[in-house]
Structure 1
């Protein structure tokens, strides 16, 4: 499959927006952005007008996966800051609305059970309630998955063949971290089985001991995750983007409640993803 070429718009410094459209800023994690793009049809049915999603540069891969051209990609941090300074508290034509309760202080009571991860409601119906749209039990899946690129293949070839690589993804924004001991023991087990283990981390110094650091963009992490032998990850937004890996996607939850709220098998109506609750002593 060839890589998809999509020309996305950019917002100018004057924030000139069309009065006949609604603008939603995807301000949270990769998984939240995926869910938001998946309900475009429900939002437009509710609002009766076109919706334009505004995405961080690192989330461009999600727009590509949904082949969604009605997106604006923020080209840099300055534009992101400008957008966040000009958010509307209400959903209005020609205004930018934050597509997550995290940027709505007035919704703290609604957001807190999810933030504290003691909610009695799963994430998918909860986020549908936030958007005020009817709950669709099965998440609308992406229609496109980015293929291997020459640049990424060159990075990988320095270490091993892609199908003998196991990728670790130990970082997540909203999950309690698992111990270094857990990840290091896992690396040792995988290396004993003959696999080459790489760490997908934001900063090189966070590389799991015994594994190899590999510098990846968000899109490259998705591509590697889909093509390598297997992925071991704490529950994060990346997991949503590579859910189709199924049994070779090993997802760890730090608490029972985090599993209840964010279970991938529940969200994508699957049974094959390897999900484990890992409460360390």
Structure 2
């Protein structure tokens, strides 16, 4: 218990030292997309509360303040030490069910810091009293509401010109691959969403290759032939953001990276898996002026219309969604009839849930976003399920989705 208290006290003291006594002090501890929402509410917060808002932000995310023209901030050094400690052994610092979570550090911050703005004290925009699942608007606005903002507003777009240009060594690394304006950045990783299969991104990359583009992939998990990884190139997050603002296009799963790159507008193609259906439009409908991002929804085994350089991208990618649907039907039958799963029914259930959350109707979050109108949920009829089951069962040696395609990122939802 002494170690528990000491750890929490050290974290609080480190943040408290940076606070300004006559201002509100917001400590940002969450993920990239959440930080974007928090940084971009600064002006709105000051209008409502009548005092300056001082942002305390991890050093590695300092560029976000520059991107949104926020000058009243301090950088917190050494936060990764605290995250590493709690992630390696959460039971040392959190009790009961609290540490049985992938958000252990977030839980600790909610325990240590107040969530109500108080002049001179550090506060966080997070609270156990605010139920995420009951929120009836876009999740980015949830953080504004948590901060006490009561009036509706739009987020401002990032200022691309404020991004620092990488050093000459990094520029040369990129130009050795291709002229930067001929590079397309692929971002398949997400910290909260169920990610898309390897085969889906492989098809996207093939389309880009056919158009003469060079592909750089922002991922450690996904490896593709004839591409370069931002990690192998040694790019920092800020340098990845710079590349996104200066390359030809960005193709990404809906993640926090999209919030940062929203300023590139039509050059951004972002895919929403079915589980994020209630968030479709969260880029175009929350920023002003509307950035005109290509927001593409994969839902109920179809992909929404989208065009890329004159081609119907949804038509080219629909076969990959059909593959996901067939595999879903295969595992759905195996999960229902244990005898078919050869004693491994849990594996069949895992696959059924994961594939449904990618492209079917496995909606992790309630469809309660008041900004959207949702169509009736349609289920695959039994004959089609059976047909797809038999088609996959007799073709297992041919093209199929393999567990390694997900690189271990999917959870039962």
Q: Secondary structure at the match of 1:106?
A: coil
Correspondence 1:1-281 to 2 at 5 A? 13=14, 15-16=16-17, 17-76=19-78, 77-78=80-81, 84=109, 86-99=112-125, 101=126, 104-107=127-130, 110-113=131-134, 120-143=136-159, 144-149=161-166, 150-201=168-219, 203=220, 205-215=221-231, 216-255=235-274, 257-258=276-277, 260=279, 263-269=282-288, 270=290, 272-279=292-299, 280=321, 281=325
Q: Partners of 1:59 and 1:258 in 2: how far apart?
A: 28
Say if 1:230 and 1:248, in contact at 8 Å, map to a contact too. yes
Q: Partners of 2:44 and 2:178 in 1: how far apart?
A: 44
Say if 1:55 and 1:72, in contact at 8 Å, map to a contact too. yes
Which segment drifts farther, 81-90 or 218-227? 81-90
**Unmatched segments (≥5 aa) in structure 2:** 1-11, 86-104, 300-320, 326-413
1:118-172 Cα distance to aligned partner (Å, 9 max, x none): x542234433322221434332223443153324312202211101111100112
Say if 1:128 and 1:135, in contact at 8 Å, map to a contact too. no
Which segment drifts farther, 69-78 or 13-22? 13-22
Q: Partners of 1:14 and 1:75 in 2: how far apart?
A: 10
Write 1 or 2 for the structure with the bigger share of helix. Answer: 2
Q: Secondary structure at the match of 1:206?
A: coil
Which segment drifts farther, 87-96 or 55-64? 87-96
**Unmatched segments (≥5 aa) in structure 1:** 1-10, 114-118
Q: Partners of 2:21 and 2:204 in 1: how far apart?
A: 53
Which segment drifts farther, 34-43 or 12-21? 12-21
- Normalised by the length of structure 2, the TM-score is 0.56
Q: Secondary structure at the match of 2:156?
A: coil
2:378 alignment partner in structure 1: none
Q: Partners of 2:286 and 2:116 in 1: how far apart?
A: 28
Q: Partners of 1:272 and 1:50 in 2: how far apart?
A: 32
Q: Secondary structure at the match of 1:172?
A: coil
Instruction: Mark the structure with the bigger radius of gyration.
Output: 2
Q: Secondary structure at the match of 1:28?
A: coil
For the aligned residues, what is the CA RMSD? 2.7
Count the aligned residue pairs: 259
Say if 1:13 and 1:79, in contact at 8 Å, map to a contact too. no
1:8 alignment partner in structure 2: none
Q: Partners of 1:259 and 1:14 in 2: how far apart?
A: 35
1:210-259 Cα distance to aligned partner (Å, 9 max, x none): 42112321211111001111110001121122212222211000027435
Q: Secondary structure at the match of 1:52?
A: strand
Q: Secondary structure at the match of 2:296?
A: strand
- Normalised by the length of structure 1, the TM-score is 0.80
Q: Partners of 2:261 and 2:35 in 1: how far apart?
A: 14
